[in-house]
Amino acid sequence: MIIATSRPERVLPTLVGDDILEITSLVQMNGTIAHGKAGLIGSLKHEMNLEDACICWRLANEHAPWARMTVEIDGDQFAVNHDDDINQLWAFNMVKPTMVVSFEEALRLGPVKVSINGLNQNIENLAIMLENKLSAETSVIRAAKVQFLNIVPTQASKSGAVADLLKSANIPLSDVLSFGDDFVDIDLMRDCGWSVAVANAIPEIKSLAKYETASNDDHGVAIVLENLVAAIK
Protein backbone atom coordinates (compact mmCIF):
# COMPACT_ATOMS: atom_id res chain seq x y z
CA MET A 1 0.00 0.00 0.00
CA ILE A 2 1.20 3.50 -0.88
CA ILE A 3 -0.15 6.80 0.42
CA ALA A 4 0.21 9.31 -2.42
CA THR A 5 -0.65 12.75 -1.11
CA SER A 6 -0.11 16.42 -1.83
CA ARG A 7 0.53 17.03 1.87
CA PRO A 8 3.91 17.05 3.64
CA GLU A 9 4.85 14.14 5.86
CA ARG A 10 4.73 16.18 9.07
CA VAL A 11 0.92 16.41 8.99
CA LEU A 12 0.24 12.72 8.32
CA PRO A 13 0.54 11.26 11.84
CA THR A 14 -2.44 13.38 12.84
CA LEU A 15 -4.40 12.71 9.64
CA VAL A 16 -3.83 8.96 9.18
CA GLY A 17 -2.01 7.78 12.33
CA ASP A 18 1.48 6.48 13.05
CA ASP A 19 0.29 2.85 12.90
CA ILE A 20 -0.71 3.24 9.24
CA LEU A 21 2.46 5.12 8.36
CA GLU A 22 4.60 2.30 9.77
CA ILE A 23 3.26 -0.16 7.18
CA THR A 24 2.76 2.18 4.22
CA SER A 25 5.13 3.54 1.60
CA LEU A 26 4.79 7.27 1.14
CA VAL A 27 4.65 9.57 -1.87
CA GLN A 28 4.29 13.10 -0.55
CA MET A 29 3.90 16.61 -1.90
CA ASN A 30 2.63 15.73 -5.40
CA GLY A 31 5.31 13.12 -6.06
CA THR A 32 8.29 15.34 -5.28
CA ILE A 33 9.48 13.02 -2.49
CA ALA A 34 8.93 9.27 -2.07
CA HIS A 35 10.14 6.58 0.34
CA GLY A 36 9.53 2.85 0.08
CA LYS A 37 8.51 0.77 3.09
CA ALA A 38 6.92 -2.58 3.96
CA GLY A 39 8.20 -4.55 1.00
CA LEU A 40 9.09 -1.64 -1.26
CA ILE A 41 12.50 -0.01 -1.36
CA GLY A 42 13.97 3.12 -2.86
CA SER A 43 13.46 6.85 -2.56
CA LEU A 44 13.43 9.95 -4.73
CA LYS A 45 13.44 13.72 -4.48
CA HIS A 46 12.65 16.21 -7.24
CA GLU A 47 13.85 19.72 -6.39
CA MET A 48 12.42 22.94 -7.81
CA ASN A 49 14.19 25.26 -10.19
CA LEU A 50 15.51 27.87 -7.74
CA GLU A 51 14.74 30.82 -9.99
CA ASP A 52 11.15 29.61 -10.29
CA ALA A 53 10.91 29.29 -6.50
CA CYS A 54 12.04 32.91 -6.21
CA ILE A 55 9.46 34.01 -8.78
CA CYS A 56 6.71 32.27 -6.80
CA TRP A 57 7.83 33.94 -3.59
CA ARG A 58 7.99 37.40 -5.15
CA LEU A 59 4.77 37.31 -7.18
CA ALA A 60 2.65 35.78 -4.42
CA ASN A 61 3.87 38.32 -1.89
CA GLU A 62 3.32 41.19 -4.33
CA HIS A 63 -0.04 40.21 -5.82
CA ALA A 64 -1.66 38.16 -3.06
CA PRO A 65 -0.07 39.43 0.17
CA TRP A 66 -2.93 38.03 2.27
CA ALA A 67 -2.25 34.49 1.06
CA ARG A 68 -0.30 32.01 3.16
CA MET A 69 2.59 30.45 1.31
CA THR A 70 4.89 27.59 2.24
CA VAL A 71 8.12 26.58 0.56
CA GLU A 72 8.49 22.87 1.33
CA ILE A 73 11.87 21.16 1.64
CA ASP A 74 11.66 17.59 2.93
CA GLY A 75 8.26 17.08 4.54
CA ASP A 76 9.44 18.48 7.88
CA GLN A 77 11.31 21.72 7.17
CA PHE A 78 9.60 24.62 5.41
CA ALA A 79 9.64 28.39 4.96
CA VAL A 80 6.55 30.60 5.26
CA ASN A 81 5.64 34.17 4.38
CA HIS A 82 3.49 34.46 7.54
CA ASP A 83 4.44 33.62 11.11
CA ASP A 84 0.98 33.70 12.68
CA ASP A 85 -0.33 30.42 14.12
CA ILE A 86 2.30 28.35 12.33
CA ASN A 87 1.85 25.32 14.60
CA GLN A 88 -1.88 25.23 14.00
CA LEU A 89 -1.88 26.12 10.32
CA TRP A 90 1.14 24.33 8.91
CA ALA A 91 2.33 21.53 11.22
CA PHE A 92 -0.34 19.37 12.81
CA ASN A 93 2.15 16.92 14.29
CA MET A 94 2.85 18.33 17.71
CA VAL A 95 5.25 15.51 18.60
CA LYS A 96 7.88 17.10 16.35
CA PRO A 97 8.84 20.73 16.77
CA THR A 98 7.83 23.00 13.93
CA MET A 99 10.88 23.32 11.67
CA VAL A 100 10.52 26.74 10.10
CA VAL A 101 13.49 28.13 8.19
CA SER A 102 14.04 31.36 6.30
CA PHE A 103 13.28 31.54 2.58
CA GLU A 104 17.01 31.90 1.91
CA GLU A 105 17.74 28.75 3.91
CA ALA A 106 14.98 26.91 2.06
CA LEU A 107 16.68 27.78 -1.23
CA ARG A 108 19.99 26.48 0.10
CA LEU A 109 18.46 23.21 1.31
CA GLY A 110 16.60 22.56 -1.95
CA PRO A 111 12.85 23.30 -2.13
CA VAL A 112 10.54 20.74 -3.71
CA LYS A 113 7.19 22.54 -3.66
CA VAL A 114 5.47 25.86 -3.10
CA SER A 115 1.93 25.84 -1.71
CA ILE A 116 -0.24 28.95 -1.78
CA ASN A 117 -3.48 29.15 0.21
CA GLY A 118 -5.61 32.15 -0.69
CA LEU A 119 -7.65 31.84 2.51
CA ASN A 120 -11.00 31.64 0.70
CA GLN A 121 -10.08 34.29 -1.85
CA ASN A 122 -9.86 33.47 -5.55
CA ILE A 123 -6.22 33.41 -6.70
CA GLU A 124 -6.80 32.36 -10.30
CA ASN A 125 -5.17 35.57 -11.56
CA LEU A 126 -2.05 34.66 -9.58
CA ALA A 127 -2.11 31.16 -11.08
CA ILE A 128 -2.23 32.60 -14.60
CA MET A 129 0.55 35.04 -13.80
CA LEU A 130 2.75 32.24 -12.45
CA GLU A 131 2.10 30.06 -15.50
CA ASN A 132 3.24 32.93 -17.72
CA LYS A 133 6.39 33.66 -15.70
CA LEU A 134 7.66 30.24 -14.60
CA SER A 135 9.93 28.08 -16.73
CA ALA A 136 8.91 24.82 -18.38
CA GLU A 137 10.60 23.05 -15.45
CA THR A 138 7.80 24.06 -13.07
CA SER A 139 4.06 23.34 -13.10
CA VAL A 140 1.13 25.07 -11.40
CA ILE A 141 -1.55 22.64 -10.20
CA ARG A 142 -4.87 24.05 -9.14
CA ALA A 143 -7.29 22.57 -6.65
CA ALA A 144 -11.04 22.31 -7.17
CA LYS A 145 -11.34 25.29 -4.86
CA VAL A 146 -9.63 28.14 -6.68
CA GLN A 147 -8.00 29.52 -3.54
CA PHE A 148 -5.26 26.87 -3.40
CA LEU A 149 -2.25 26.26 -5.67
CA ASN A 150 0.48 23.60 -5.73
CA ILE A 151 3.66 24.59 -7.61
CA VAL A 152 6.02 21.68 -8.24
CA PRO A 153 8.75 20.48 -10.62
CA THR A 154 7.20 19.40 -13.92
CA GLN A 155 9.02 16.07 -13.75
CA ALA A 156 7.30 15.20 -10.45
CA SER A 157 4.01 13.30 -10.40
CA LYS A 158 2.20 10.99 -8.03
CA SER A 159 1.97 8.20 -10.59
CA GLY A 160 5.63 8.54 -11.56
CA ALA A 161 6.74 8.29 -7.93
CA VAL A 162 4.43 5.33 -7.29
CA ALA A 163 5.81 3.55 -10.37
CA ASP A 164 9.37 4.21 -9.20
CA LEU A 165 8.72 2.62 -5.80
CA LEU A 166 6.89 -0.36 -7.30
CA LYS A 167 9.86 -1.27 -9.51
CA SER A 168 11.48 -2.89 -6.48
CA ALA A 169 8.58 -5.35 -6.32
CA ASN A 170 8.21 -5.71 -10.10
CA ILE A 171 4.64 -4.37 -9.99
CA PRO A 172 3.45 -2.35 -13.02
CA LEU A 173 1.02 0.56 -12.74
CA SER A 174 -1.44 -1.51 -14.76
CA ASP A 175 -1.89 -3.67 -11.63
CA VAL A 176 -2.43 -0.71 -9.29
CA LEU A 177 -5.77 0.43 -7.84
CA SER A 178 -5.85 4.18 -7.18
CA PHE A 179 -8.31 6.56 -5.53
CA GLY A 180 -8.73 10.26 -6.21
CA ASP A 181 -10.91 13.34 -5.97
CA ASP A 182 -9.07 16.46 -7.21
CA PHE A 183 -6.80 17.79 -9.96
CA VAL A 184 -3.71 16.58 -8.10
CA ASP A 185 -4.91 12.98 -8.66
CA ILE A 186 -5.41 13.17 -12.42
CA ASP A 187 -2.13 11.41 -13.29
CA LEU A 188 -2.96 8.53 -10.92
CA MET A 189 -6.42 8.11 -12.43
CA ARG A 190 -4.96 8.22 -15.93
CA ASP A 191 -1.92 5.99 -15.43
CA CYS A 192 -3.10 3.24 -13.07
CA GLY A 193 -4.86 0.16 -14.37
CA TRP A 194 -7.70 0.43 -11.88
CA SER A 195 -9.08 3.73 -10.62
CA VAL A 196 -11.87 4.77 -8.28
CA ALA A 197 -13.34 8.25 -7.89
CA VAL A 198 -15.07 9.22 -4.66
CA ALA A 199 -18.57 10.67 -5.03
CA ASN A 200 -17.41 14.21 -4.24
CA ALA A 201 -14.63 14.12 -6.87
CA ILE A 202 -14.37 16.79 -9.55
CA PRO A 203 -15.81 15.90 -13.01
CA GLU A 204 -12.32 15.54 -14.50
CA ILE A 205 -11.54 12.73 -12.04
CA LYS A 206 -14.87 10.99 -12.53
CA SER A 207 -14.38 11.00 -16.30
CA LEU A 208 -11.05 9.18 -15.93
CA ALA A 209 -12.00 6.70 -13.19
CA LYS A 210 -13.24 3.21 -13.98
CA TYR A 211 -15.39 3.05 -10.84
CA GLU A 212 -17.03 5.35 -8.32
CA THR A 213 -17.54 4.93 -4.58
CA ALA A 214 -19.12 6.91 -1.76
CA SER A 215 -17.75 10.34 -0.82
CA ASN A 216 -14.78 11.02 1.46
CA ASP A 217 -17.20 11.99 4.21
CA ASP A 218 -18.98 8.65 3.81
CA HIS A 219 -15.75 6.59 3.93
CA GLY A 220 -15.76 5.73 0.23
CA VAL A 221 -12.16 4.47 0.13
CA ALA A 222 -12.67 2.27 3.20
CA ILE A 223 -15.78 0.73 1.66
CA VAL A 224 -13.88 -0.36 -1.44
CA LEU A 225 -10.93 -1.73 0.54
CA GLU A 226 -13.16 -3.64 2.93
CA ASN A 227 -15.06 -5.18 0.03
CA LEU A 228 -11.81 -6.24 -1.62
CA VAL A 229 -10.48 -7.81 1.57
CA ALA A 230 -13.77 -9.67 2.08
CA ALA A 231 -13.68 -10.92 -1.50
CA ILE A 232 -10.25 -12.54 -1.19
CA LYS A 233 -10.79 -14.20 2.18
Kindly report the pTM of this predicted structure: 0.88
Half-sphere exposure of 191 (CA within 13 A, CB side): 14
- Domain span at residue 197 reads 2-46+157-232
Domain boundary (122, 153, 184) is at 153
| CB neighbourhood size of 182 (10 A) | 20
Q: What does the alpha-carbon distance between residue 2 and residue 210 come to, in Å, rounded to a whole number?
A: 19
What integer is the mean pLDDT of 65-70?
Answer: 93
Each residue of 111-152: pLDDT tens digit?
999 999 998 899 999 999 999 999 999 999 998 877 899 999
**What is the gyration radius of the CA atoms in the chain, in angstroms?**
18
Higher local confidence (pLDDT), 83 or 37: 37
> Looking at 96, 130, 153, which one is the last position of a domain?
153
Q: Residue 87: its pLDDT value, please? A: 55
CATH number of domain containing 110 = 3.30.1240.10
Q: What is the mean pLDDT of residues 15-34?
A: 92
What pLDDT sits at residue 218? 93
The pLDDT score that the predictor gives to residue 85 is 61
Report the pLDDT averaged over residues 101-105. Answer: 95
In the predicted structure, residue 90 carries a pLDDT above the cut 60: no
Q: Domain check: are 67 and 144 in the same one?
A: yes
Residues 161 and 221 reside in one and the same domain: yes
- Inform me whether the pLDDT recorded for 91 exceeds 70: no
